[in-house]
Homo-oligomer: A and B are copies of this chain.
Amino acid sequence: MSASEIKDLSRLAIHTITTKGWTLEQCVENFSAAGVKGITVWRQALEGRSDAAIAEAGKRIRDSGLSTVALCRGGFFPGKTEADRNKALDDNRRAIAEAAALGAPLIVLVCGAVPGIPLEDARKQIADGIAAVLPEASAAKVKLSIEPLHPMYAGDRSAVNTLGQANDLVEQLGSPWVGVAADVFHLWWDPALEAEIARCAKLGALDAFHICDWLSPMADMLNDRGLMGEGCIPIKKIRGWVEAAGFNGFNEVEVFSHRHWARDPKDFLADIVSSYLKYS
């Protein structure tokens, strides 16, 4: 099944990190003025705010006609000591409280990996960590969405590196409050992707869909993502797969890029919109 035709911005969301030169208020004002309909809020954009101030920010987002798609991000569960792991749990509990205050239905989890902790141990610590904060998540009605990260981040950012692994974790944890955030940057190379997207949706776990592009060559493993159309990811094809699986949520533009961050954010936002309409 091919992807639906994108005719307008009704399903376009942007992550605040994408235009990280802007404050949350500037993101909201400019996204809204551009006709963007969703925003995923990175916690950096909330730094220093009380729960009341976060709730107020959530209201401002809604009043501007935007949906809060997600809070980014929780996770980073593995740690070498119990103290480290408990600190991570506390931070995830704090993220759940922030998401609830903001009115975000889910938190994207970058699950974590630590050099020196074997991957299978890290994977167990991740499962244990999510299980530990599930009571708070369900009480707050905030879903925890595991984002499988590209295998090039297995050393230090996430030991969950394929959609298949994320789906296995969802099955293992067996809670309606655990799901998956699928990002084309991390997953596009995987020959099992179409099948695992279908499986994820059958599990009721396909919570979010992130888009950007993969540059060849890539100057920086973290902060040289491309805007849609600049690279080689078959975004429309993958969007067709998530739609065939029943996903009808936002297409979230998440670009980390020193190159784009160096530009005037207004020009970049205009390019996000035009490349979204043309290449997503």
Given the complex, which residues of B lie within 8 Å of A161, measured CB to CB?
A: 189-191
* A127 at the binding interface (Cβ < 8 Å): no
Contact between chains at B232 and A115 (CB < 8 Å): yes
Q: Within the assembled complex, what's the spacing in Å between the Cα atoms of A190 and B53?
A: 43
Q: Which residue of B lies closest to A117 (CB)?
A: B232
For chain A, the count of residues having a C-beta within 8 Å of the partner chain is 29
Q: Select one of B154, B191, B218 contacting A189, CB under 8 A.
A: B154
* A48 at the binding interface (Cβ < 8 Å): no
Contact between chains at B217 and A156 (CB < 8 Å): yes
* A239 at the binding interface (Cβ < 8 Å): no
Contact between chains at B152 and A165 (CB < 8 Å): no
* A155 at the binding interface (Cβ < 8 Å): yes
Contact between chains at A155 and B216 (CB < 8 Å): yes
Known: A165-B191, A216-B115, A221-B221. A232 touches B155 (CB 8 A): yes
- Listed in ascending order, the chain A residues whose CB lies under 8 Å from chain B are 115-116, 118-120, 123, 150-152, 154-156, 161-162, 165, 188-191, 214-218, 221, 231-232, 234, 237
